[in-house]
Amino acid sequence: MCSNYRPVTRLDRLLTFFGVERAKDEPPPDLDVYPMGLAPFIRLDPDHESRDAPLVVQNGLYGLLPQSAVELSWGRKTYNARSETVHRLLSFKEAWAKGWRCIIPAEQLYEPCYESGRFERWRVKQPGDVPLGVAGIYRLWTNPQGAQNFTFAMITVNADQHPLYRRLHKPGDEKRMPVILDPEDYGAWLRCTVAEAPRFFKAWDGVLEGEPSPPPPRVSVGRRPPEPPMDLFGDGS
């Protein structure tokens, strides 16, 4: 599970590590993202119909909203999609079936750790400040007033045997981690067929570092982030 992360927001890092350029006139994303926070996600350019379409980056809300959702609060329960059920749960199955897959660029992920006997927020990242590309799904949601917002969710897998993630989360809980993609697989994840996509569902075998990272004083654990405006992206085009 991952309910909090720091997105890649710098234009130079998005270009260097993911090969995409964020429009300078887009609203600035959040520095630390919680469910329904604003952050960049990467998808195939919708203006190109072929599988060779280039990648584009744009902002979305962290928490995938199916069209049946009538309010933003739904996304506070749908920011993670389990790989075992993403194809059949109401919240995710249309995005999955239609191949609306994305990459979520993250500088670091935040996870709970209880090794000290109490809750601590830990920072999970790659060595050398190399960002992570997390596999996700997205969709365009239209609210009851007709405004449109892109929304997305991270896909997670079992991590009971992962050398770092098995130390995280509450004792006795299943250990889960986001699907982290190797950079050479970014294009394949976005361009493969729906039937081929599950081959990426595995705990990442790359090196991850974890260390305590207390929230800033103004952020309390479990605090609900403020509601974003209902129409952040105009007509969604």
Q: How far apart are CA 202 and CA 188, in angstroms?
A: 15
Quote the tokens at residue 223.
């605090």
Q: What is the pLDDT of residue 121?
A: 94
Quote the tokens at residue 226.
């403020």
82-102: burial string, b at 16+ Cβ within 10 Å, e else: bbeebeeeebbbebbeeebbb
What is the CATH number assigned to the segment(s) 4-212? 3.90.1680.10
| Of 161, 165, 197, the residue nearest 181 (C-alpha) | 197
How large is the average pLDDT for residues 179-192?
A: 97
More confident position, 217 or 46 = 46
* Three-state secondary structure call for residue 97: helix
Each domain of the chain, given as residue ranges in start order, spans 4-212
**Each residue's pLDDT tens digit, 124-135:** 999 998 999 999
More confident position, 31 or 186 = 186
How large is the average pLDDT for residues 171-177?
A: 94
Q: Are 157 and 203 in contact (CB under 8 A)?
A: yes
Q: How far apart are CA 178 and CA 176, in angstroms?
A: 7
**Each residue's pLDDT tens digit, 189-214:** 999 999 999 999 999 999 999 999 98
Query: For residue 150, which phi and psi values (nearest 5 degrees)?
Result: -80, 140
- Residue bearing tokens 């739904």: 74
pTM: 0.88
Q: How far apart are CA 206 and CA 146, in angstroms?
A: 43
How are beta strands 120-125 and 209-212 bridged, if at all?
antiparallel
**Each residue's pLDDT tens digit, 157-167:** 999 999 999 99
Quote the tokens at residue 173.
């809980």
> Mean of the per-residue pLDDT values for the chain?
88
CB atoms within 10 A of CB 148: 16
Q: What is the pLDDT of residue 231?
A: 35
Q: Are 147 and 230 in contact (CB under 8 A)?
A: yes
